[in-house]
Amino acid sequence: MIYIIIAIVLGIVMIVMSIIAIHHKNITLAILSAGGVSLVASILYLLLAAPDVALTEASIGSGLTTIIFFYVLNKIKKHKHVEE
């Protein structure tokens, strides 16, 4: 029973975070919340008895994807700065 409540809370957090990721104007916040969706999803995988998938999602989906997004965003911002 407690697991069901935890899963519902995690799911609501994920939905709120993905709405922020899609609709927020500030793109840094959007990227961070998309990383947060992956991180919360990895806890959900743990509840679904899949520790392997949880480890992969936490290290790859949440960590490296966010870092690559930030590198590309930083590069685009720097480009814009040089233009102006």
Residues that bind another protein (CB under 8 A): 3-4, 7-8, 10-11, 14-15, 18-19, 21-22, 27, 30-31, 34, 37-38, 41, 44-45, 47-57, 59-61, 63-65, 67-69, 71-76, 78-79, 82-83
The distance of closest approach from Cβ of residue 28 to another protein in the complex, given in angstroms and rounded to an integer, is: 10
- Which of 64, 63, 41 shows the shortest CA–CA distance to 53? 41
Give whole-number Cα distances, 31 to 42, 52, 76, in Å.
17, 25, 15
CB of 54 to another protein, least distance (A): 8
CB of 53 to another protein, least distance (A): 5
Query: 58: Cβ–Cβ under 8 A, 6 or more apart, which residues?
Result: 38, 39, 42
